[in-house]
Amino acid sequence: MTDKIKPQRKTGVAHFFAAASYSFMGFQRLLQESAFRQETFAALAGLIALPLLGVELPRVLGFLILMLMLMAVEALNTALEEIVDHLSPEWSQFAKNAKDLGSFAVACLIGANALYLLWALFL
């Protein structure tokens, strides 16, 4: 294993552009996950369908906020899985528990999105 030198921390405007670059790299990594691609498709489909179904703009924006939250939790779940796979390449109960908890967090937000859609469409 080779030692890598930690890059010097950027400040000011350079920090802003570096952070944007890191976020874009995270987005590119998430695109490799089928769950994230499915959630992105659902978000785009909802953003097209809801206005066509006559749903008011504030409710469409609520849907968008919940979908962005889902994508954020999906990103955190993927990061958790990456760390767990690195720390525990073999099967372990701690790794299973950590991954199951991350999956549960995603499932909770999918449920919140489903309930919100029912409310937005029918109430």
Q: Are 106 and 73 in contact (CB under 8 A)?
A: yes
Dihedral of the alpha carbons of 25, 31, 33, 35, in degrees to the nearest 10: 130
pLDDT exceeds cutoff 90 at 8? no
User: In 6-65, at which residue ranges do the beta strands (DSSP E only) sit?
Assistant: none
Residue entry with tokens 């749903």: 55
Fold exhibited by the domain 34-122: Helix Hairpins (1.10.287)
**What is the rounded average pLDDT of the residues 44-50?**
97
In the chain, domain spans: 34-122
Active site residue 56: no
How high is the pLDDT of residue 81?
96
Assign 2 a pLDDT band (cuts: 50, 70, 90).
low
Between 57 and 5, name the one with better pLDDT: 57
Which member of 74, 81, 82, 90 is catalytic? 74
Between 4 and 49, name the one with better pLDDT: 49
Cα-based distances in Å from 79 to 25, 52, 75, 104 = 13, 36, 6, 15
How high is the pLDDT of residue 1?
54
Residue entry with tokens 């390449």: 89
The structure's pTM equals: 0.87
Q: 96: which 2 tokens?
A: 């299973």
**What is the rounded average pLDDT of the residues 89-112?**
96
